[in-house]
Amino acid sequence: MIKNEIECDTVIIGAGSAGIEAFREASKNGRKCVLIDDGPLGTTAQRSGEIPTSILMSAGLSMHDTRRMNMFGIETHGSIQYDTSGVLNELRAVRARSTSSVLSFMYKIPEELRLRGRARFINQNSLETDDHLVRFKTAVVCTGASPRVTYEQSRLPGIITTDVFYEQKELPKSAAVFGSSSVGLQLGQALSYLGVDVMVFGQRRLWDLTDDAVLTVAHQMLSARFHLTIDSFITSIEADGDGYSIYYIDESNYENYLKMDAVIAATGRMPNVGGMCLQDIGIRLEKTGCIRVDEGTLQTSLPNIFAAGDVAHDRQSTSIAREEGKLAGKNARNYPQLKSQDGRVRLDIVYTDPVLAIVGHSLDEMKHRADASGHKFVISEVRLDNGHYWARHEEGGIVSLYTDVDTHTVMGAEICASGADHIAQFLSLIIKTRMPVEELQNFGFYHLSCEGAIAEAAKSAVQKLSGFAGKKA
């Protein structure tokens, strides 16, 4: 079969959040770029990722808040009836409005430069699809990730992944959610708040948290709000009529049985690298399957090929994908002159109730840093049980702050609390500006703001650091 040949400056593979930004940047200054994508139009974040998940969680919180009114002395007379049959339809309507700008951008790209199909690399300067042969100077791989489904789950008829959940006609009456990833926790809690009988099967290490104190609090607070079982052993899952029979041994070594209408796979996502022949041309992959890149420039092991977004790491975040897409596109356009991203502070947030967050270094990363370089650090924990949280019936959270002994600056934190997103956002600025904890402890936080917990953590850090100063003396 004779293929249409195209020569271009840069080819972008993948039209997700990272790919669109990469195309915008690489196309500047009159550069000829080709965009290749083999999936449905619209980014994963908008179809089945952060946007629909946050909309579903907002719906769940709205319904859940009406059940909390009695905590504040508000009584209702008669039972309140909820009809959730229109939730997914409304969600899809909101999602459609959010994707319109992406589709508008896509259709403005000339058709001959917007190719459909799967890309297969021939060498570091050419690739092919079913219909085209593309020769390029530079390339950016932004193919994203897909839901991970275990072998046992794949054998079940009608298994629902997070990519297809939002296309269901209506919410299930009951569901088993497998996975304590960010998506699994949010989806499970949102469904529970919307009246679905839910059981989330997860691991001791919820999401990416590594601090045992934060993990313990997260387990306690989340399991008090919806059914969450940790480190269970599934002995059998069988299709049973119009649902599924699930047998499992829980963490107390008791055998349990569940009958659920739906099984949802949410154990995480795997990078979309299959079929592109990346390793055949010399592109190295990590053990996770992600493309190995230079963290500063996003170069792969082949210097003229870059990778950005979920295909290059396992942190699913639209903001990170967009930022990396811009950088990769800019470096592809200016190659071999490259720009390195300047010390971005990690900021990862999971909008559960309470919110989970990691900012800067996690505790595991701080330990590895200490082992590798000898830099000591102190951990200061603050339990959020003061009057502000107590009055709002949101007490019980925790902020675990990690402060460097030599510089007295905050290096990272793990958080489980109502308002953890606000606390983490402020801490990211603190880490970026390298404000010493002595100054941070006296910062004028408004006394009813959740950010006030930062000052308490800073005071605790200062006290612990004084102990190190005494030892040195």
Using DSSP, state whether 336 is helix, strand or coil.
coil
Give the residue from 223, 250, 269 where a domain finishes.
Answer: 269
How far does CA 36 lie from the centroid of its chain?
25
Q: Are residues 368 and 300 in the same domain?
A: no
Task: State the average pLDDT for the chain.
Answer: 87
Residue 183 pLDDT grade (very low, low, confident, very high; cuts 50, 70, 90): confident
CATH number at residue 31: 3.50.50.60
Give the residue from 312, 334, 356 where a domain finishes.
Answer: 334
In a domain, 394, yes or no: yes
In a domain, 368, yes or no: yes
Q: Are residues 264 and 274 in the same domain?
A: no
How far does CA 187 lie from the centroid of its chain?
13
pTM for this model (two decimals): 0.85
pLDDT, tens only, 322-357? 889 999 999 999 999 998 877 778 888 999 999 999
Buried b (16+ CB within 10 A) or exposed e, 2-12: eeeebebbbbb
For residues 148-160, average pLDDT: 84
The long-range contacts involving 23-31, CB below 8 angstroms and separated by at least 24 positions, are 23/109, 23/329, 24/326, 24/329, 25/325, 25/326, 25/327, 25/328, 25/329, 25/330, 25/332, 25/333, 26/138, 26/140, 26/329, 26/330, 26/332, 26/333, 27/329, 27/333, 28/333, 29/333, 31/333
Give the residue from 236, 269, 302 where a domain finishes.
Answer: 269
In a domain, 95, yes or no: no
* Res. 321: pLDDT tops 70: yes
* Res. 299: pLDDT tops 80: yes
pLDDT, tens only, 37-83? 887 655 565 666 677 888 889 899 888 888 777 777 788 777 778 88
Measured at the alpha carbon of residue 101, what is the angle toward residues 183 and 50, in degrees to the nearest 5?
Answer: 10
**Cα maximum dimension of the chain:** 79
Residue 144 pLDDT grade (very low, low, confident, very high; cuts 50, 70, 90): confident
In a domain, 81, yes or no: no
Q: Are residues 264 and 128 in the same domain?
A: no
Give the per-residue pLDDT at 40. Answer: 65
Q: How many domains does the chain have?
A: 3
Number of neighbours of residue 392 by Cβ within 10 angstroms: 15
d(CA 114, CA 120): 16
Q: Are residues 355 and 312 in the same domain?
A: no
Using DSSP, state whether 383 is helix, strand or coil.
strand
CATH number at residue 373: 3.30.390.30
Which candidate, 432, 420, 423, places its Cα nearest to that of 458? Answer: 423
Give the per-residue pLDDT at 42. Answer: 56
In a domain, 28, yes or no: yes
pLDDT, tens only, 395-448? 778 999 999 999 999 999 999 998 899 999 999 999 999 999 999 988 877 766
Cα-atom radius of gyration of the chain, to the nearest Å?
Answer: 24
User: What is the residue range of 310's domain?
Assistant: 4-39+117-146+270-334
DSSP readout, 277-290? -TGGGT--B-TTSP
For residues 237-251, average pLDDT: 88
Using DSSP, state whether 32 is helix, strand or coil.
coil
